[in-house]
Structure 1
Amino acid sequence: MVRNVVITGAGSGLGRVMRERFLAQGDRVHICDVELDLPVRDTARTDKLRGSVCNVGDVAAVEALFDEVAAWMPHVDVLINNVGIAGARAPVEDVSDDEWRQIIEVNLFGAIRCMRRVLPGMKRAGSGSIINVSTSSVATRPVNRSPYNVSKGAIETLTLSVAREAGPFGVRCNVLRPGMMDNPRMHRVLQRVANDSGKPVDEVLRNELQFVSLRTLVPMQSVADMAVYLSSPAAAHVTGQVIAVDAGAEWES
């Protein structure tokens, strides 16, 4: 069965891997991303893939995104809220109100706005799957990352609330919680830590992985595979769950 899938933040990284995974099984996919220089801008208008430039932190932009979605998708079967910005890195007392507002606006309200647009149609159809991408940092709570941790923690609570509200209508809502992924973003983080500490990158990585049970970074494909599973009929009775694909993340230094 061909499904209609919307994925935010799908111009690169995990979002891009997820979009390719859904396309490979024949689904129709509409993606969005905020960066104008990403491939999303030039996505070919085909019968399977379309894209929009969209900042989910902007109300009007989200409305425009779903107007574009509605122009070729009669309804949305799967919504994946993948967008997440890192925000300020500082002790709580040094984070300004504007910095708090920015990350909450994108990470939390962006997901709320997208869900607001798809939930009525899903309820009418009596089916649908919403996946909100969180982070293992909600559990490990790295220091000086309170805005990010709080925004994603709020996403997890929101997910559980929506799962309860929408469940009687046949709509499922789950959290996908990735750990340290093997991607360019993580390698940039490792390089920054190496530069700040004066340690080699491989030593920094070893130090971080001592807090991961499987002692390995997580391939983005593994996370994408879980997204496909959670949206599939095989997970028809899975809702209101926080599913971690984190190789057993225990802590973050």
Structure 2
Amino acid sequence: MELQDAVIIVTGAGRGIGRATALELARAGARVVAVARTAHGESGVAATVAAVEAAGGRARAEPADVRDAEGVKALMERVAEAEGHIDGLVNGAAVFAGERGLLDISPDQWSEVLDTNLTGAFLCLRAAAPHLIRAGGGVVVNMTSGAAVRTGFLNVAYGVSKAGLDRLTQGADAELRKDGILCVSLSPPVTRTETVEAIYGSGTEDLYAAEPERTARAVRKLIVHHAAERAGGVVTVRELMEGEAD
């Protein structure tokens, strides 16, 4: 997939990996739609758009809650009308609820994690798919995690949400590939973000945490070169970026 003039929607774009991804795709020529619940401030999509434009790229801010089905549908329709088409989606919006045991997770926390990380991705994919089909197809990248298959860190709700996301990737690719839509799950390494620092403290260097830009480069590489061969499955940033220094 060529990124020049492609319209790519990135959720969770207010900070961290999402913001880095928006910047990376814009540098490659994409017209980025930055989506997050927060509009303004350091973690708002307005700041992401400002950073993209300062770097010479093109982006538009779309504050939205991915848990809101009607709001997500309206967002996709608004973008398609304004930009003319939608060519790709990066489902990066996620919450963690911190490191806590199964018996310490409240029902409300469980719902927040699953509603954002899994249902939110489903709603965005479901709303974007008709527009992707009309554009002749496209690529959907679901940002997953090693927590989908490993226990012992973060919390079970987060792991369940990411395991479900990988199953969504598999099922969506099986159904939508005939329409030209390729769905892939991308698993980042431990990354130096505000959320990780909030969990582990300032000593993230002890975790060999990668910079968000590494995953952003992997997203670009996946969309441009490897989506077809990896569609329907999970690929790690390490696999994609083997040989490239952090």
Q: Shorter chain as normaliser: what TM range? A: 0.7 to 0.9
Change (3 A) 1:191 1:237: closer
Question: Aligned with 2:75: secondary structure?
Answer: helix
TM-score by length of 1: 0.81
Percent of residue pairs identical: 26
Tell me whether 1:243 sits opposite 2:235 in the alignment: yes
Residues in 1 aligned to 2:235 and 2:94: alpha-carbon distance in whole angstroms: 17
Written as runs of structure 1 = structure 2, the 5 A alignment for 1:141-220 is: 141-143=151-153, 145-191=155-201, 201=203, 206=206, 209=207, 216-220=208-212
Q: CA deviation at 1:143?
A: 4.7
Offset from partner CA, 1:63-108 (integer Å, 9 cap, x none): 3322331232222111000001002643323323222222111111
Tell me whether 1:5 sits opposite 2:8 in the alignment: yes
Change (3 A) 1:235 1:64: closer
Residues in 2 aligned to 1:158 and 1:116: alpha-carbon distance in whole angstroms: 11
TM-score by length of 2: 0.83
Q: Which moved more, 1:77-86 or 1:223-232?
A: 223-232
Residues in 2 aligned to 1:100 and 1:186: alpha-carbon distance in whole angstroms: 19
Residues in 1 aligned to 2:25 and 2:154: alpha-carbon distance in whole angstroms: 35
Change (3 A) 1:150 1:75: same
Q: 1:122 corresponds to which letter in structure 2?
A: L
Tell me whether 1:33 sits opposite 2:28 in the alignment: no
Provide the alpha-carbon RMSD of the alignment. 2.5
Written as runs of structure 1 = structure 2, the 5 A alignment for 1:91-102 is: 91-102=101-112
CA contact (8 A) 1:88 1:95 kept: no
Q: CA deviation at 1:165?
A: 0.9
Offset from partner CA, 1:6-55 (integer Å, 9 cap, x none): 000101111111111111111111111112433424646x8921011111
The residue aligned with 2:115 is 105
Residues in 2 aligned to 1:144 and 1:28: alpha-carbon distance in whole angstroms: 34
CA contact (8 A) 1:218 1:245 kept: no
After the TM superposition, list the runs of 4 or more consecutive aligned residues in structure 1 that deviate by more than 4 angstroms: none
Question: Aligned with 1:229: secondary structure?
Answer: helix
Tell me whether 1:230 sits opposite 2:239 in the alignment: no
**What stretches of structure 2 of length at least 5 have no aligned partner?**
240-246
The residue aligned with 2:213 is 221
Q: 1:135 corresponds to which letter in structure 2?
A: S
Which of 70, 78, 83 aligns to 2:88? It is 78
Q: CA deviation at 1:56?
A: 0.8
CA contact (8 A) 1:218 1:246 kept: no
Q: Which moved more, 1:18-27 or 1:142-151?
A: 142-151
The residue aligned with 2:77 is 67
Q: Which moved more, 1:230-239 or 1:165-174?
A: 230-239
Residues in 1 aligned to 2:154 and 2:89: alpha-carbon distance in whole angstroms: 31
CA contact (8 A) 1:180 1:246 kept: no
Q: CA deviation at 1:140?
A: 2.6
- Which structure's CA Rg is the greater one? 1
CA contact (8 A) 2:9 2:34 kept: yes
Offset from partner CA, 1:145-192 (integer Å, 9 cap, x none): 011110111001110111111112221100010121123332232218
Question: Aligned with 2:201: secondary structure?
Answer: helix
CA contact (8 A) 1:88 1:99 kept: no
Residues in 2 aligned to 1:68 and 1:2: alpha-carbon distance in whole angstroms: 18
Which of 48, 53, 59 aligns to 2:58? It is 48
Residues in 2 aligned to 1:176 and 1:90: alpha-carbon distance in whole angstroms: 25
Q: CA deviation at 1:144?
A: 6.2
Question: Aligned with 1:11: secondary structure?
Answer: coil
